[in-house]
């Protein structure tokens, strides 16, 4: 492989970026149209936005690897952008686990 356009990993990142971006846009549009949303819709929207950001940065890293050079690729992987790429997804996961733990332990019906 001599470029990113024949790199299957790059195309998986692109496909994930497109689908998660479209999904996030649809969820946000629906929440605005409905005027409110349940916590499930908000959490799923956060997960989709987090995946969109993460796959976008991963795709960008592949472009740097193939088009710019290994030194710049390594610098990108050591940057805060790369380190924080999953932070939105982590926030969504923490919210989901906290919400479900609260429901499981404090809102049980006896």
Q: For the chain, what are the domain ranges? A: 4-105
The two three-digit tokens of residue 106, written as one number: 């404090």
Taking the C-alpha atoms of 1, 81, 14 and 6 in order, what is their torsion angle to the nearest 10 degrees?
A: 0
- Cβ–Cβ < 8 Å for 62, 13: yes
User: Residue holding tokens 């479900």?
Assistant: 100
Q: What is the pLDDT of residues 25-49, one digit of tens each?
A: 999 999 999 988 888 899 999 999 9
pLDDT for 16 equals 97
97-103 contacts at long range (C-beta below 8 A, 24 or more positions apart) = 99/39, 99/43
- Cβ–Cβ < 8 Å for 18, 46: no
Q: What is the pLDDT of residues 50-106, one digit of tens each?
A: 999 999 999 999 999 998 999 999 999 999 999 999 999 999 999 999 999 988 888
- What is the pTM (predicted TM-score) of this model? 0.86
């Amino acid at each position: 492989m001599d470029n990113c356009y024949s790199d299957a990993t790059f195309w998986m990142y692109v496909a994930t970026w497109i689908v998660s971006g479209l999904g996030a846009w649809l969820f946000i549009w629906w929440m605005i149209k409905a005027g409110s949303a349940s916590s499930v819709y908000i959490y799923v929207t956060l997960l989709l936005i987090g995946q969109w950001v993460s796959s976008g940065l991963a795709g960008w890293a592949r472009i740097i690897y193939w088009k710019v050079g290994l030194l710049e690729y390594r610098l990108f992987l050591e940057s805060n952008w790369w380190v924080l790429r999953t932070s939105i997804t982590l926030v969504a996961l923490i919210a989901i686990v906290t919400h479900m733990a609260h429901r499981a332990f404090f809102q049980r019906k006896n």
